[in-house]
Chains A and B, each alone.
Chain A
Amino acid sequence: MFDYRFQWRVVFKHWPELLDAALLTMELTFLSVFLGLLIGMVMSVWRKSENKVLFWFTATWVALARNTPALLQIYLFYFGLGALGIHLSSYAAVLAAITFNNVGYLIEILRGGLDSINLAQRGAALGLGMRPWQVYVYVIFPQVLRAVFLPITNQVVWAMLGTSLGMIIGLQELTGMTTFLQSQTFRPFEFYLVAAVIYLIICEIMLMSARLIARQYFRW
């Protein structure tokens, strides 16, 4: 049953490519979470606003992003927009789709955080002469981010897993590169196992840096 000879040397010959691809995965993850947080913070405020248009806009975004597969979202950004004459590169399509997906989840997470903040603080800050945006930037969101820090790190891991879907539209991030290399060398098991280990390591690195950031900025 088990007369298979593992060949690891092929894999390590392609180590530089894998490492580059892993960096691309991390870059995509970081960008999509960063953009997602920026958009998500603005929209989570809209979600609670009295303006009907803003409210429905965010509610629709959340519902669409959370109730359809991420792969379908990537297809829509890549093939769907292509049909309308807007041709995104696979990099841009993956970034846009994963960000879109992220925002949907982050809005709900941040809204939960906003609910936990005493709104009297908003009145107090306004009374001190702050502008509305200053109230959110300096008073509300530092507390919100602290309160929902753990769910956000979860979302970071999700975003990283999501970028692996880029392989299907031909982006050579870690999964895509692995698929490309194994198709050249016919060593799928070795390559995918190494890729899995790299993903684990990336995940640990991200969680650890998140913990460091939390220790630095979210001290009581």
Chain B
Amino acid sequence: MNSFSMTFTVNDFYLMLQGAAITFLLTIASGFFGSLLGFLIGWGRALGYTWLYYLLSIYIEVIRSVPLLIQFVLYNSFLAIAGLPIDPFVSGLITLSVYISAYVAEVVTAGIVGVPLTMIKAARGLGMSYLQSFRFVVVPIGARSVLPSWTGLMLGLMKDTSLIAVLGASPPELLRSSQIIITRIQEPLAILIGAGAFYFIMCYVINMAVQRYEKSWTSRRKVTA
């Protein structure tokens, strides 16, 4: 009965790799749904109805000032008392999407409001409908200006997925799987640095790529202008 290993094994590496994949998957999925929801909310705030603006601002304000940990547990226990079936993974995913939607909404509103009114008027003057001017003028211009902050939000989201561990969601994401391994082999420093390196590299590379992309955008604009 000496199958209990106290050292870092290949299986541990696979567990961490799987954790990294789960982290990535959670980020993509909640980033997608959250951005979609946040886009609608941000658009709603920029429509110009005062009551709608304040209503949606309350939504944003509440989500932004309550810790994500609390939101996770709160939603999970809400499902429990409502008698709905709970899959921690799914409820965590929903919470993450709602959470990030508030941040995205703020950015989207800023992007839409940042487009000069004269441009929209010009588009409408050319005979575009509201939706057309929104689709072909406001969105392309606004998207460029908010791309860096949106990327920042998505990278923040990736780091926040580590909190899903409080729900005991399985399969474990990266930080939780490192925690499991640490409990067994009692080598916190090495494992944590390994996990940290993964987050670091992911964030750093994505950041660099976006900065590159941004630069190519601005230089192209200079050529055409």
Contacts and interface: CB of A to CB of B under 8 A. Distances in A.
B199 A72 contact: yes
B188 A199 contact: no
B13 to A, nearest CB: 18
Interface string A192-207: 1101100110011000
Interface in A125-178: 157, 160-161, 164-165, 167-168, 175, 178
Nearest to A188: B77
Contacts of A175: 67, 69-70
B18 interface: no
B162 A69 contact: yes
A71 B189 contact: no
Interface in A7-31: none
B60 to A, nearest CB: 12
* Majority secondary structure, B binding face: helix
Contacts of A196: 66, 70-71, 74
A4 B200 contact: no
B199 A84 contact: no
Contacts, number: 110
Interface stretch (A35-43, A74-82, A113-121): A74-82
A64 B200 contact: yes
A63 B159 CA distance: 14
A1 interface: yes
A73 to B, nearest CB: 8
A76 B196 contact: yes
A191 B63 CA distance: 17
A204 B64 CA distance: 11
Interface string B179-203: 1001000011100110110011001
Contacts of A93: none
A2 to B, nearest CB: 6
A63 B199 CA distance: 11
A51 interface: no
A66 B202 CA distance: 12
B83 A68 contact: no
Given A63-B204, A188-B73, A192-B70, A80 B192 contact: yes
A199 B189 CA distance: 33
Given A1-B83, A175-B70, 10 more contacts: A3-B83, A66-B203, A67-B200, A71-B175, A72-B192, A75-B175, A76-B189, A79-B182, A79-B192, A83-B188
